[in-house]
Amino acid sequence: MKNEKRNSNSAENVPVPVGSADVTDNGESGSASVPATFGGIEQRGFADQPETLGRTPEYERIIDDDGAVRGGGYASVKGKVISNNRLVWMIVAVMSALCIAVGICSSLLTGYFMRRGSTPPVINTEGLQQNIAAVISARKNNIAEISCAVGSGASNGSGIIIERKRSRYYILTNEHIIDATDSCAVRFSGDDAYYAAEIVGYSKFFDIAVLSVEYNDIIFDDLDGTEVFSPTTEYGEGDYAVAIGNGMAMGIAAYDGIISRSSELLFYETKTVPVMRTTAAINDGMSGGALFDMQGRMIGLNTYRMTDKEDTGFVTPVSMVYPVYKQIVEYGDGGDVGLFGLDYRKTNTSAVGWIGCSAAGFECEYRGGKLTVVGSTLSGLKVGDVITHIGGVAVTSDICRTSGEFLRYRRDHSASGVELNLAVSRSGAELTVTVAGYRRYV
- The maximal CA–CA distance of the chain, rounded, in angstroms, is 142
Q: Could you tell me the CA-to-CA distances from 139 to 161, 182, 231 in Å, in that order?
A: 10, 28, 18
pLDDT of residue 56 exceeding 50, the answer is no
Q: Is the dihedral of CA 255, 253, 398, 175 positive or negative?
A: positive
Give the three-state DSSP class for 41. strand
pLDDT attached to residue 73: 36
Quote the pLDDT of residue 44.
46
Q: 399-406 and 318-331 are packed helices; what angle lies between their axes, rounded to 10 degrees?
A: 20
- pLDDT tens-digit readout, 396-406: 999 999 999 99
What integer is the mean pLDDT of 298-304? Answer: 96
Tell me: pLDDT of 333 over 50: yes
* pLDDT > 50? residue 87: yes
**Which has the closest alpha carbon to 207: 302, 121, 105, 124?**
302
Round to whole Å and give the CA distance between 140 and 188: 10
pLDDT of residue 38: 41
Closest alpha carbon to 400 in 314, 319, 338, 324: 319
**Which carries the bigger pLDDT value, residue 129 or residue 209?**
209
41-60: average pLDDT:
45
CA of 374: how far to CAs of 55, 94, 421, in Å?
108, 77, 18
The reported pLDDT for the residue numbered 108 is 65
Distance of CA 102 to the CA centre of its chain: 28
Task: Tell whether the model's pLDDT for residue 253 goes beyond 60.
Answer: yes
Instruction: List Cβ neighbours of 356 (8 Å cut-off, separation of 6 or more).
Output: 342, 343, 344, 362, 363, 364, 375
- pLDDT range class, residue 207, cuts 50, 70, 90: very high
Compute the half-sphere exposure of residue 127: CA atoms within 13 Å on the CB side of its CA: 0
Distance between CA atoms of residues 70 and 139, nearest Å: 84
Is the pLDDT at 9 greater than 60, yes or no?
no
* DSSP letters for 134-188: HHHHHHGGGEEEEEEEETTEEEEEEEEEEEEETTEEEEEE-HHHHTT-S-EEEE-
pLDDT in tens, 384-394: 999 999 999 99
With beta carbons less than 8 A apart as the criterion, state whether 421 and 434 touch.
Answer: yes
Best mean pLDDT range from 18-32, 45-59, 248-262: 248-262
Which of the four pLDDT bands, split at 50, 70 and 90, describes residue 122?
Answer: low
Q: Exposure pattern of 418-428 as b/e (b: 16+ CB <10 Å)? A: eebbbbbbeee
Q: Which of 123-127, 275-279, 341-345 has the lowest mean pLDDT?
A: 123-127
Q: What is each CA distance from 92 to 83, 100, 146, in whole angstroms?
A: 15, 12, 66
How far is Cα 386 from Cα 389, in angstroms, rounded to an integer? 9
pLDDT of 265: 97
What three-state secondary structure class fits 382? coil
